[in-house]
Structure 1
Amino acid sequence: MASNEYRAIPKDDSFRAPVGQRSYQNQPPMYTTYNTQPAPVIIRTTRPNNYLIPAILVTLFCCCPFGTIGICYSVESSQEFDRGDVEGAESSANMAKNWSIAGLVCGILAIIAAVILLIFTVLSTSSSYNPYGQE
């Protein structure tokens, strides 16, 4: 067997480099590795107010169509937040608030108009009403 032929290296620590050659088993690494991955960022946000209760109250007591639209936007706000879309949730919550306010204003204006109409109707009929047909 020639001295420059390759031979199998044993897996145990009994292998030694031939005399005159350096062993690289216990040498420090030639380069240093760094972890270049960014650290995980955890952003905790609070759920925006979805204005569900005002929308329900507006639906029951003031203006049913506007309150119903407010409820729809309120539910959409909750669903968008659950999906992780915080900006969409805030936008839908803002729309729910606006529709609830619009329904409240329309309901109050309708109640005021109904009261004024009732007052004018009672005043106009009571002055000319004569149940006995006499003047």
Structure 2
Amino acid sequence: MTDIPPPPPAPGMQPAYGAPQPPNNNLVWAILTTVLCCLPLGIVAIVKAAEVNSKWAAGDYAGAQASAEAAKKWSLWSAGATLILGVLYILFFVILGVASSN
């Protein structure tokens, strides 16, 4: 009699002991940076985050990890772009205020 591997866990169930866990898809960060920060970069982050679970389910573990890291990277870029634009915005009005006072 041949050994048949156990079926994969049902959605929402924990995998068997010792089975690898899927990487964090960073979807929350992607959505937050899309809504609160830079929209175009946040959309890319959401797309990358959405790829993680489907790649994991298909058995592409390296691809799932790469998509998770890409989603995190794009979320950080989105937050960083907003921070830089915010600083430039404040600097613009400071310079404008100094120039108008002279």
Q: TM-score range by the shorter chain?
A: 0.7 to 0.9
Q: For the residues of structure 2 that align with 1:119 and 1:61, how far apart are their CA atoms?
A: 24
Alignment counterpart, residue 40 of structure 2, candidates 47, 62, 65: 65
Corresponding residue of 1:102: 77
Q: For the residues of structure 1 that align with 2:45 and 2:25, how far apart are their CA atoms?
A: 9
User: Alpha-carbon deviation of 1:122?
Assistant: 2.0
User: Alpha-carbon deviation of 1:40?
Assistant: 4.4
Corresponding residue of 1:48: 23
User: Alpha-carbon deviation of 1:100?
Assistant: 0.7
Farther-moved stretch of structure 1 (105-114 vs 75-84) = 75-84
Corresponding residue of 1:89: 64
Q: For the residues of structure 1 that align with 2:52 and 2:82, how far apart are their CA atoms?
A: 24
Structure 1 stretches of 4+ with a deviation exceeding 3 A read 37-43
User: Alpha-carbon deviation of 1:46?
Assistant: 1.1
Superposition TM-score, scaled by structure 1 size? 0.60
In structure 2, what residue type is equivalent to 1:72? V
Name which structure has the greater RCO, CA cutoff 8 Å, separation 6+: 2
Q: CA RMSD in A?
A: 2.1
* Percent of paired sites with the same residue: 28
| Cα-to-partner distance string for 1:12-31 (whole Å, 9 max, x where unaligned) | xxxxxxxxxxxxxxxxxxxx
Corresponding residue of 2:95: 120
Alignment counterpart, residue 74 of structure 1, candidates 31, 49, 63: 49
Count of residue correspondences: 92
